[in-house]
Structure 1
Amino acid sequence: MTLHDPAPARAARPWRPRRVVITAAAREHAHGRAIAARAAGLGLPVEDLSGNRLTGENLAGLRHPDPRRAYVEAKNTLAVVVAPPTKLKLQPIPPSADWRVDLAEGCPAHCQYCYLAGSLTGPPVTRVYANLDEILGNLAAYAGRGGVTSANAERVQEGTTFEASCYTDPLGIEHLTGSLSAAIRHFGAWDAPVTLRATTKFAAVEPLLGLPHGRRTRLRFSVNPPGAARYEGGTAPLRERLAAMGAVARAGYPVGITVAPILPLPDWREAYAALFCEAAAALEGAPDLDLTAELITHRFTPGSKAVLEGWYPGSDLPMREAERSRKLTKFGSVKYVFPAELMREMKQQLTRDLAERLPAARVLYWT
């Protein structure tokens, strides 16, 4: 069984922001200067800000009253900044990992279901952090203290886990930042039971293949059948993501597939079964394969829906409250998920197909 894109997919081109700015404080860090130099080397104009805040005055257009216009301006802006002290106080990130570590905030992709909508305040500028040495040096204090995965008997072999893709896609901006490579090297040299985790919808893994990763970084690839591709603008085509997953697996990395967001497409049973077949083919021949799977259904909040409808007017992404079940999060906020019967059916079908076509995969969670 195979799947095919509904139309020939063009290879994903590296993101080229129209505007790159660097704050004064970021210029004081070697990694910040290196990011600016990378951008300049790609022919991108780099603008030095006199201060350390991103405001409507120094980033004109980001406060435009038309949310779509403000979105477009923000999505074409890369800001090199210093991570605030709050970023050094790590938070648990269940069910993925013990701790969330942010190398950046924001993403160059244009996913109509964007998980960041409603989570981050202000225009969706991609902010990359110049004080990377400080961020990585801070992690040792959290090793052995996790309560999400390292306290889970089924995942204890992963050690303390650090999730680097909660608020960004680190591979999608790696050609500009080099931050993911630096983090992989850091974990590879860290002689402790720890794991760096990163998820991506991109495929430019070549700079990562020869890194001394020490099998302490798990690279996961977010995938979905081609019927969902129209909701994932600016990302690598599915076939490229799967090929990239095979490449990093053959380079010795632990890998994973993140099936997200799971949608009940008209032919969802056949589509997801075919997806798993294609993933199995991409991983064929990978030595000592260490493979996980994370299964994440689509959900939305009133706030995220409002933001997304402003960003993507006319989208046919199914977000009708009457077709969903209303749930409360642990923080008391409202979210809309698929009805329980449909959730059970999809979970049974996908986990069964996954076990049949990718028996090496350990399912970490369904949510």
Structure 2
Amino acid sequence: MTGDLLDIRRIYVEPAAAELPRGKEILARFPGAQLVEVESHNRIPELYGDETNVNRWVRIKREALVLGVKKTLTARPNGRSADFIAPSTANGCAMACAYCYVPRHKGYSNPITVFANIDKIAGYLQRHAGRQGTKTTPNECDPYAWVYDIGENSDCSVDARISDNVRDLVELFRWLPTAKASFATKHVNREMLDWAPGGRTRIRFSLMPPRDAKILDIRTSPIAERIAAIDDFVAAGYEVHVNFSPVVVRDGWLDDWAALLEQLDDGIGPAAKRQLAAEVIFLTHNRDLHEVNLGWHPKAEELLWRPELQQPKRSQNGSWNVRYRTGEKGRYVAALTDLITERTPYLRVRYAF
């Protein structure tokens, strides 16, 4: 089922996490794994900050798992994809998308770290949602519900292969009348179809032209498989949106997006179309990640690192990012959103930038 994606052989574990019920469940799922006790889930020298790990980039993602305790519980305001970013139940990923920003924070490797104190996280979210009261002013996140992104630093569909953390949150939000969970995914996990979310969880399937995905979306579910899953997830009680991200500008890019929109239109039924909405996010790339990628996947950088089209921008954490040049980017955004209106007029664009 997940052998190609995950083959956990080493678990780096905080002792406190191993004592919690969820920690014990996770360890029992991988009885043959070597256990390596660590003081902190985010201070593991052989995983993080060692540039020699770039040669083992994918192998580490497949074979290593970190089990820890989430110590800081906060729901950060967001306002675009969601009203709030929920405290993580996991970070890192077994997939290896070349544009992913998580490695920028974790060094040269980012296998999945899963947090065992799910009861604390769920309790915090329930109290936080309760304090918000009823949403009286509609916004682009949702007209009625406070939306919580539960997968900012991981892919929840993959996380659900490892633990029941994601299922616990989906079941929690089923009973929160004023709130809704949300996460973007590039992995089709059909086990989630049995969870009965009751319309209170929004899955955003990330899509891009298959020509780009073949190079950039490493170890993910094929684009056709993601589109084919949309109707089934709608029928199972999920709200399903699409996440056009990242949009990469190259020769022929708009023609390939037209073909993708046609593939999407042909691949979903009336029920999905009635509730479908989209986010459109053009590529932002990072100079440090560019250097990392050159060590394991230089072909991706031919698409991602285009100095003739991009301009530098210093991020809030002080690192240098590149994005498409001001003025030109506005024309790119307009061209794609006009194409969406023409080819899939039912597809509401929640935001585009």
Alignment TM-score > 0.5, same fold: yes
Does residue 168 of structure 2 align to residue 182 of structure 1?
A: yes
CA distance in 2, matches of 1:15, 1:151: 43
Structure with the larger RCO, 1 or 2 (CA within 8 Å, 6+ apart): 1
| Structure 1: unaligned runs, 5 residues or longer | 1-10
CA distance, structure 2, for counterparts of residue 314 and residue 272 of structure 1: 21
Structure 1 residue 155: Cα displacement: 4.1
Aligned to 1:225: 209
From 22, 28, 31, give the equivalent of 2:13. Answer: 22
Aligned: 1:128 with 2:122:
no
Structure 1 residues 150, 166: closer, same or farther in 2, change over 3 A?
farther
Percent identity, please. 26
**Alignment check: 8 A CA contact 1:24 1:48 kept:** no
Q: Paired residue for 1:117?
A: 103
Q: Which amino acid aligns with 1:78?
A: L
User: What pairs with 1:1-367 in structure 2 (closer than 5 Å)?
Assistant: 13-40=4-31, 45-54=32-41, 60=46, 64-69=50-55, 71-72=57-58, 74-75=60-61, 76-84=63-71, 86=72, 88-101=73-86, 102-121=88-107, 123-143=109-129, 152-190=138-176, 192-204=177-189, 206-229=190-213, 230-286=215-271, 289-313=274-298, 315=300, 316-329=302-315, 334-367=320-353
| Secondary structure, counterpart of 1:353 in structure 2 | helix
User: Residue 65 and residue 290 in structure 1: after superposition, are their counterparts in 2 closer, same or farther (change >3 A)?
Assistant: closer
2 CA distance for matches of 1:71 and 1:30?
A: 31
Residue type of the alignment partner of 1:181: R
Is 1:12–1:235's contact at 8 Å kept on the other side of the alignment? no
Secondary structure of 2:103's aligned partner = coil
Q: Distance in 1 between matches of 2:155 and 2:279?
A: 16
Is the Cα contact below 8 Å between 1:112 and 1:317 reproduced in 2? Answer: no
The 1-side partners of 2:273 and 2:340 are apart by 19
1:348 Cα offset (Å): 2.0
User: Are residues 187 and 264 of structure 1, via their aligned partners in 2, closer, same or farther at CA, if it must alter by over 3 Å?
Assistant: same
Q: Work out whether residues 82 and 141 of structure 2, in 8 Å CA contact, stay in contact via their aligned partners in 1.
A: no
Residue deviations 1:149-205, cap 9 Å, x none? 986544442421111221001112311112222211111122x2111001111112x
8 Å contact from structure 2 (residues 54, 108) kept in 1: no
Mapped partners of 1:66, 1:332: distance in 2: 24
Q: How many residues align?
A: 346
Partner secondary structure for residue 199 of structure 1: strand
Q: Summarize deviations over 1:52-81 as a string: whole Å, max 9, x none.
A: 42588x775666552413534542311121
Task: Please give the TM-score of this superposition, normalised by the length of structure 1.
Answer: 0.84
Residues 65, 113 of structure 2: 8 Å contact kept: yes
Counterparts in 2 of 1:72 and 1:203: CA distance versus 1, 3 Å: closer
Note the C-alpha offset of 1:260: 0.9
**Is the Cα contact below 8 Å between 1:79 and 1:126 reproduced in 2?**
yes
Q: How far is 1:225 from its partner? A: 0.3
Question: Which amino acid letter does the alignment assign opposite residue 194 of structure 1?
Answer: A
TM-superposition CA deviations, 1:256-286 (whole Å, max 9, x none): 1101110123221221112112222222143
Identify unmatched segments of 5+ residues in structure 2: none
